Amino acid sequence: MRAQNTSAWGAVLAMSLGAFALVASEFMPVSLLTPIAADLQITEGQAGQAIAISGAFALLTSLFISGMAGKMDRKILLLAMSMLMIVSGTVVAFAPNYLVFMVGRALIGVAIGGFWSLSAATVMRLVEPAKIPRALAILNGGNALATVIAAPAGSFLGSLIGWRGAFLCVIPVALIAFVWKLATLPPMHNDTNTRPASLPALLKRPEVALGMVAVSLFFMGQFALFTYLRPFLETATHASVSTLSLLLLVLGVAGFAGTALIGGLLGNHLYRTLVAIPLLMAAIALALMTFGASVAATAVLLALWGLLATSAPVGWWTWLARTLPHDAEAGGGLMVAVVQLAIMLGAMVGGLVFDAGGYRGTFELAAVVLVAASGVSLLAARAGAQASVALATTHK
């Protein structure tokens, strides 16, 4: 049963604010990598593993939360994820050493995996079917807004009140999201007797398997570069703290614009868009290596990167909705697991390459992986077309 319209849209907005706080918390280390490393007396590559560990725990959570939760009220689960986000931010902000810092990052990973695995299916239960696309757009708007604000705000706040203070600033936002969800989310017991498709069954479908490989390569390539963007801007572009914040703001604003613009392309050009985006991002990665000494050129390239990178997830969630319309929770959990594994591997391998040879090796790695993502997206498009033909033939 769907909630009444007024409370439902309030709940969707509460979910969007929760998404904002989660994404801001997840990627806060990107803009604070250097001060975190200096304070905890670790390398920048080790500090980058804060992204990897949150991705690892998000992956594990997304794979098992639906089965372990059973018929538990999804409202209780979502509230628990919000509370875990608050605990994580507190642990990270007051971490006395690297180990405790990583424990806090593991907790945010659990919150991320749980929230995103349930989010799409939850939104689909809150509003009427005809309004689901709008509700999903609002939900992902919180994600996009975090990309605009989190990185530059983290860099700016870090210079004023330190990296620990920057993490503390996210906690009040998470607390507001918790109270808002508590007030607006209706009880959502999983009382259906329909058994969801298993992950192995989903992956036996070629279009699903290839799509998941493509999305994993995309996020792996993206975060191999993005995680180590601040050290690149400091060493290659020689950006001051104020310039760094401005460049990250440019990246974020362009990304927010991208999420608004991509909808027009997805209607009739979904696969073409998913093939083109990683190919263009690979070219940008190589161009940053060539023109990175110029602040102006770097600003333009980062704007293009943000425009593409932030809009791509909207495309992949649209692909998921079209490919698995009747298995939203199972498909959503699988997608989150794949994305988080890719983020973890991208940050981890990127960190190892960065420590071994600097940003050039990391950016070259990102470009290669993104080209591979484009190629597999093309294969997924062909498999999807074949599946559509087969389905149409069956229904004749």
* pLDDT, mean of residues 166-193: 87
Q: Cα–Cα distance between 363 and 354 in angstroms, integer?
A: 9
Residues 33, 231 contacting (CB under 8 angstroms): yes
Q: Cα–Cα distance between 205 and 210 in angstroms, integer?
A: 9
142: closest CA among 224, 242, 19? 19
Look at residue 1 in the predicted model and tell me its pLDDT.
44
Both structure tokens of 63: 């794979």
DSSP 46-85: HHHHHHHHHHHHHHHHHHHHHHHHTT--HHHHHHHHHHHH
Both structure tokens of 264: 């027009």
Is pLDDT above 70 for 253? yes
Both structure tokens of 350: 């990127």
Look at residue 194 in the predicted model and tell me its pLDDT.
52
Lowest-pLDDT range of 213-227, 232-246, 251-265, 268-282: 251-265
Q: Which residue has the tokens 């079917």?
A: 129
- The continuous run of DSSP H or E covering 95 comes out as none
Look at residue 294 in the predicted model and tell me its pLDDT.
93
369: closest CA among 143, 214, 252? 214
For CA atoms 67, 73, 78, 82, give the dihedral sign. Answer: negative
pTM of the model: 0.77
* pLDDT (tens digit per residue) in 142-153: 887 886 777 677
Q: Cα–Cα distance between 105 and 93 in angstroms, integer?
A: 10
- The continuous run of DSSP H or E covering 97 comes out as none
DSSP 283-329: HHHHHHHHHTT-HHHHHHHHHHHHHHHHHHHHHHHHHHHHH-TT-HH
379: closest CA among 216, 212, 207, 204? 207
Residues 318, 270 contacting (CB under 8 angstroms): yes
* pLDDT (tens digit per residue) in 8-58: 889 989 999 999 999 888 878 877 888 888 898 888 888 888 878 887 888
Note the helical H segments in the chain: 5-31, 33-40, 44-69, 74-93, 98-126, 132-168, 170-184, 199-203, 206-226, 229-235, 241-261, 263-291, 295-323, 328-357, 359-394
* pLDDT (tens digit per residue) in 351-371: 899 988 888 999 999 999 999
Look at residue 7 in the predicted model and tell me its pLDDT.
53
* pLDDT, mean of residues 105-117: 91
HSE toward the beta carbon, residue 229, CA cutoff 13 A: 29
Residues 46, 100 contacting (CB under 8 angstroms): no
